[in-house]
Structure 1
Amino acid sequence: MKKKYIWAIALSGVLMGSCTKLEPEFYREVTPETFFQSEKDVLAALNRPFTHASWYMGEDRWRLQEYTADNFAITTKGRHWYNGGENERYHYHRWTPDDGWIWGSWRGTLMGVALALDTKQDLEKLDYSKFALTQEDKDAHLNQLNTLAAYFYLRGLDYFGGMPIFTSLDQESLPRNTDQELFSHIEGILKEALTKLKKKQAGETEEGVLKQAAAASMLAQLYFNAEAYIGKPMYTEAQQLAQAIINGEYGTYTLDATWNGPHGFANDRSPEIIWSIPSQFNRLQYSWFYADFYHYNTREYFNTDMGANNGAHLTPSRKPDSTLYKADFQLGSPFETFDNTDLRKKPYKYLGNGGYEGMFLNGPHVSPAGAVIKGGEEYKDQPLVFRDQVARFSEVGPGKKYSSIAQLESKMSTGEENTGVRPVKVPIPPLSENTLRWGADNPVIRLAEIYYMLAECKWRAGDRAGAADLINSVRKRNFPGGVDPNPVTAANLDQDRFLDEWSIEFLGEGRRRTDLIRWKVFTSGRWWDHQPSGSAHLNRFPVPTEAISGNNNLTQNPGY
């Protein structure tokens, strides 16, 4: 029976407003058996679903994780960024089933599953010996695709709870499976993958291939958050897997010696990376965040030709009068949660030949070469000074709206063009070294996460000293000479410190909402300009209106 092969795939049922069927639009009709002529063709097909994963790991998915939590915000800046109140709805937890980021994430999840399933069905039919490939190669390829589908479903479970479980492209109008059914489906895929994926060997570079440790890490993540997903704590199971990964049972990995090793231009050689998505200038480039984070004129600081739209920034650590929010509530304040001697807290500076230091743009915006960057809105033609504060400081003074700083409000609607600290976790080279642009791969899973996961499991089991040792083994690389001025101890490692440590190490890596939910503070915690709703149903997003309108068998999540 012939199977139409999708080369340029467009999932019309997913993209065009319904989720009734994973139905591809065919651009050419050939059978897989005749299309594949070489190992290169096999690998090209295998890699296609991973290009979707590259897109999926940013944009709407990142926004749902970070702008709904305590570390990031898109404030209204004068005439810019109100966006019909969209940014405020997410910050205040007032989203609806009609919001675009939610629809994009539901659609993108099932699209990823469809791409993985389609490629798997094609590769299953091939005789790998014709391409000088082995049965072991075939098992690894098929289980990479299974594991990738499990990854998409794992994220879908996190965002929405139960989703329809597709096992082929021919199924139509499926109802949602239960949370437990989807959990078990993911678990089964990953357990099988552990026996058939290949292991990473010492010294092997990370090129985006899913190996045993990646599947083990996803399974650990599933168990780690099981209480939120299915109401059943499974920290013991997560601990066993995390320990096995650290022990090297699923491949050879070690912590990187430097904080920026997992994030820099050569991070494909970092021994810490368990799974990353390759990036290269104009080829699957990891760059979606650039326009959101940086000021219109920050291109002068980076000495690059790329423009930005000055939207996102860290939530403020300080009130308009410069006192700390940490005195009032523990969550948020991401910049001031870093110790002052932390190497990452330095201003970002490119040092040449791929080297750089620091991770933030804060304070006077003066380029490494000494050029003073000026504003274009509230501070037009004036030196830009980024503030770890949110307020209309430009409207204070004689004859202006406010007579003193004490009158200023700090909320989502009172930003300015210089509002907020800007992270630079992915290095930006100048034009003179433009061949490096977007050369840093996107680290999806790294060993530091496994250390922190194991630490939290130990902490929950009562081993606070063991948990502290694990966190300190990561923290020490962030300080000159490895001297940590504020190490974690059994005595100071409480819930607040743990949440701070997750925030510091994984700032901006698209996971904060999940961490807050696991610690049961996403709907009960307070942070800058955010009061707790107390509505636990907000731990899940609604099923989008567009999905339900295309499939009457889909049911809405409670509370929406």
Structure 2
Amino acid sequence: MKNIINRIIPILTISFFMVSCHGDLDQFPIDPDSFTEQDVFANATEAKGALAKLYASLALTGQDGGDGGNADITDIEQGFSQYTRMLFNLNELTTDHGVVGWGDSGLPDLHGMYWTGSNSFTGAMYLRLAQQVSFCNSFITNAEGLSDAEAQTFIAEARFLRAFAYYNLIDFYGSVPLVTKITTDLPSQASRTELFNFVETELLEVKDLLPDAKGNEYGRVDKVAAWALLSKLYLNADVWTGTDRYSDCVAYSNDVINSSYAINTVDANGNGTAYDELFLADNNSNGAQNEFIFLVNFDGKQSTTYGGSTFLIHAAIGGTMDPTEFGVNGGWGGNRVTKNLVNKFETGDQRGMFYTDGQNLEIESIPQFSEGYACTKFKNIDSNGEQGNDKTGEFTDVDLALIRLPEIFLNYAEASLRGGGGDMNTAVTLINQLRERAYGDASGNISAADLDLQFVLDERSRELYWEGQRRTDLVRYNFFTTANYLWPFKANQKNGTSTDPFRNIFPIPNNTISTNPNLIQNPGY
């Protein structure tokens, strides 16, 4: 998929929050040499290029590399609109895991927790996910005319990707339109429970239509990805629907755990831990790929973007840091961490990767890069210390996991503690696998007496920081907006404070509301 991703075929679609005002857009070109959807879906071989577009929509921002134009989403700088970059902004910068010193309009609002329906970052994520749903709907409709088995697998993958987009929409926005066909009708919103039921039904139906574990190309999903997304869905069911599904979370987590995926234990660069290999330029081949269940591919030559790992690496470099040690040509001096994250790591836990020279642990003023430790988790160098494919150092090769096996270990433990019926000895064993990798030995292992919900939340922070998970976890624990847990500059106060609970979800973009009178803004906005 890394090679296909740069040769994607655009699909003409209608977004589920927009409508066409010209009926003649439905007509076919008169010129027989024009390339149309009929050509794209002539057979499974051609359709595979269109499938690549669905995956690429999570990695890229338009039809040209970098910020070269032809952006998928307007009214925001193109690099800002990339999915994993916005995932970081909305799920990490709004929490104790990160702050950013840049003053771009709407960006300080995220950590300050005072965003509105006009915020360009919360709005761009909505549009990105809506576009992904639209792309998937178009693909599914067109591919249904193909009868061979490979095409049916493609359709199952597209349905998974659509379900993943809706999983995000449920999490971020609550109630949004549920649209499964390309239409010019103005849609109405579905409830969070209706959306939850749709995602659940889709995943239950496609899980047996997808290839077996690791039976697909690297970067494409298999049935384990469906099990894993069900695990994530069920873990959040109580918050999203008011009905807990912890026993289902345990069951599907267990299916994933017993699959052929395994945590990486290969210390390829010989630094005493196999954890950092997950975030290096060769993480598609150094052993890390064995625990990547669902990921976004990046390549400094083939898929260039100012989002993705290019953003995570460049934006975290500043002060006295040497960019060449990270395989890039410079730092953007933006993202750092708060003391709350740093203080979660005990001596010997090598997952805590921070740069401290010239950096203050305490943050007195967010705009200064020296305020807060810098994060060194992601590096555009491989296990042999060599730079990634782009020798200019502009774009990076590090793939980003959206779901990896350790998250499912932690899902199992949390759901078991919440009454899901899992085995606590198994939960301890799973967590100790992660901690043995983190410490390089058994010195950080825990016993059943140490395992409670707070420990699991802290372990999720230690294992998954800066991977786009934190806000969702804090909402589930009722920590995100309440005074139960504070961090520096939470709700725009130096020592942190509570804020209104309506901020547990983001607003639907005001422009979208004005375009479609059937939509109702989320309460509080």
TM superposition score normalised by structure 1: 0.76
Percent identical pairs in the alignment equals 24
Mapped to 2, the partners of 1:311 and 1:22 lie a distance apart of 42
1:504 paired with 2:504, answer no
Instruction: Specify which of 276, 291, 297 is matched with residue 278 of structure 1.
Output: 297
Structure 1 residues 36 and 478: alpha-carbon distance in aligned structure 2, compared to 1, 3 A threshold: same
8 Å CA contact retained: 2:39, 2:46: no
- For residue 557 of structure 1, give the secondary structure of its aligned residue in structure 2: coil
**Structure 1 residue 337 and structure 2 residue 310: aligned?**
no
Equivalent residue, structure 2, for 1:69: 95
Paired residue for 1:118?
Answer: 138
1:32 Cα shift? Answer: 4.1
Deviation at 1:555, TM superposition (A): 0.4
The aligned amino acid for 2:52 is N
Tell me what 1:329 maps to: none
Do the aligned partners of residues 206 and 45 (structure 1) sit closer, same or farther apart at CA in structure 2, a change above 3 Å counting? closer
Q: Alignment partner for residue 362 of structure 1, among 353, 356, 361?
A: 356
Query: Which ranges of structure 1 fall in alignment gaps of 5 or more residues?
Result: 1-5, 76-80, 129-134, 318-332, 346-358, 364-384, 391-409
**In 2, are the aligned partners of 1:11 and 1:23 still within 8 Å (CA)?**
no
TM superposition shift of 1:453: 0.4
1:180 aligns with 2:193: yes
What displacement does 1:479 show? 1.5
Q: Is the 8 A contact 1:267 1:273 kept in 2?
A: no
Distance of 2:508 and 2:192 partners within structure 1: 14
Q: 1:429 aligns with which of 346, 360, 381?
A: 381
**What is the one-letter code of the residue matched to 2:46?**
D
Q: CA deviation at 1:225?
A: 0.4
Q: Is the 8 A contact 1:13 1:23 kept in 2?
A: no
Equivalent in the alignment of 1:483: 442
Give the Cα–Cα distance (whole angstroms) in 2 for the partners of residues 154 and 227 of structure 1: 14
Q: Which amino acid is the alignment partner of residue 389 of structure 2?
A: T
Amino acid at match of 1:336: N
Output the amino acid matched with 2:377.
K
User: 2 CA distance for matches of 1:54 and 1:447?
Assistant: 21
Taking the aligned partners of 1:187 and 1:289, their CA distance within structure 2 comes to 31
Tell me by how many angstroms 1:302 deviates.
2.5
Query: SS of 1:274's equivalent?
Result: strand
Indicate whether 1:386 and 2:354 are aligned: no
Measure, in 2, the Cα distance between the counterparts of 1:110 and 1:419. Answer: 36
- Three-state SS of the structure 2 residue aligned to 1:435 is coil
1:255 aligns with 2:255: no
1:264 aligns with 2:284: no
Question: Structure 1 residues 475 and 178, CA, compared in 2 at 3 Å: closer, same or farther?
Answer: same
Alignment of 1:82 onto 2:108: no
Distance in 2 between residues matched to 1:189 and 1:303, nearest whole Å? 40
Q: Distance in 2 between matches of 1:34 and 1:432?
A: 42
Following TM superposition, by how much is the alpha carbon of 1:100 offset from its aligned partner in structure 2, in angstroms? 0.7
- Give me the whole-angstrom Cα distance separating, in 2, the residues matched to 1:31 and 1:503: 47
Aligned runs of 1:298-447 on 2, under 5 Å? 298-302=321-325, 306-315=329-338, 317=339, 333-345=340-352, 359-363=353-357, 385-390=358-363, 410-412=364-366, 415-429=367-381, 433-435=387-389, 438-447=396-405
Higher mean alpha-carbon deviation, 436-445 vs 186-195, is at 436-445
Moved more, 174-183 or 534-543: 534-543
Judged with a 3 Å threshold, the aligned counterparts in structure 2 of structure 1 residues 281 and 23 are, in CA distance, closer, same or farther, namely farther
Indicate whether 1:207 and 2:207 are aligned. Answer: no
Question: Greater shift after overlay, 537-546 or 280-289?
Answer: 280-289
Q: What is the alpha-carbon root mean square deviation over aligned residues?
A: 2.8
Whether the aligned pair in 2 keeps the contact of 1:12 and 1:23 (CA below 8 Å) is no
> 2:251 maps to which residue?
240
Report the residue type matching 1:284 in the other structure.
S
Give per-residue Cα distances to partners, 1:391-422, cap 9 Å, x unaligned. xxxxxxxxxxxxxxxxxxx254xx52322222
Where does the alignment leave 5 or more consecutive residues of structure 2 unmatched? 1-7, 61-81, 266-273, 491-495
Match among 232, 235, 238 for residue 227 of structure 1: 238
> Is 1:557 aligned with 2:522?
yes
Q: Could you tell me which residue of structure 2 aligns to residue 106 of structure 1?
A: 126
Give how far 1:40 is off: 4.2
Cα gap change, 1:499 to 1:303, in 2 (>3 Å): closer
Q: 1:39 to 1:140 in 2, by over 3 A?
A: closer
Which residue does 1:382 correspond to in 2? none
Question: What amino acid is aligned across from residue 435 of structure 1 in structure 2?
Answer: N
What is the alpha-carbon distance in structure 1 between the residues aligned to residue 145 and residue 319 of structure 2? 51
1:527 pairs with 2:500? no
In 2, distance between residues paired with 1:97 and 1:449? 31
Cα distance change of structure 1 residues 91 and 177 upon mapping to structure 2, 3 Å threshold: same
Whole-angstrom CA distance in 2 between matches of 1:388 and 1:254: 35
CA 1:82 to 1:277, structure 2 compared with 1: closer, same or farther past 3 Å? closer
Contact 2:292 2:403 in 1 (8 A): yes
Residue 548 of structure 1 deviates from its aligned partner by 0.3
1:542 maps to: 507
- Greater shift after overlay, 268-277 or 497-506? 268-277
C-alpha contact (below 8 Å) 2:507/2:522 kept by paired residues: yes
Residue identity in the other structure for 2:59: S
Q: Is the 8 A contact 2:14 2:134 kept in 1?
A: no
Which residue pairs with 2:268 in the alignment? none
Q: CA contact under 8 A between 1:179 and 1:229: conserved in structure 2?
A: yes
SS at match of 1:386: coil
Q: More deviation in 154-163 or 433-442?
A: 433-442
Aligned-partner Cα distance in 2 for 1:303–1:74: 19
Answer whether contact 1:20 1:551 (CA < 8 A) is retained. Answer: no
Superimposed CA distance per residue, residues 307-334 of structure 1 (whole angstroms, 9 cap, x where no aligned partner): 332111001x2xxxxxxxxxxxxxxx11
**SS in structure 1 of the partner of residue 131 of structure 2:** helix
4+ long deviations beyond 6 Å: 21-28
* Contact kept in structure 1, 2:250 and 2:411, CA below 8 Å: yes
1:49 counterpart = 2:54: yes
Flag the structure with larger Rg. 1
2:314–2:331: 8 Å Cα contact kept in structure 1?
yes
Q: Are the counterparts in 2 of residues 52 and 112 from structure 1 also a CA contact under 8 Å?
A: yes
2:330 and 2:235 map into 1 onto residues whose CA distance is 40
Does 1:288 pair with 2:288? no
Distance (Å, rounded) in 2 between the aligned partners of 1:21 and 1:41? 27
1:19 match: 18
1:289 is paired with a residue of what secondary structure? helix
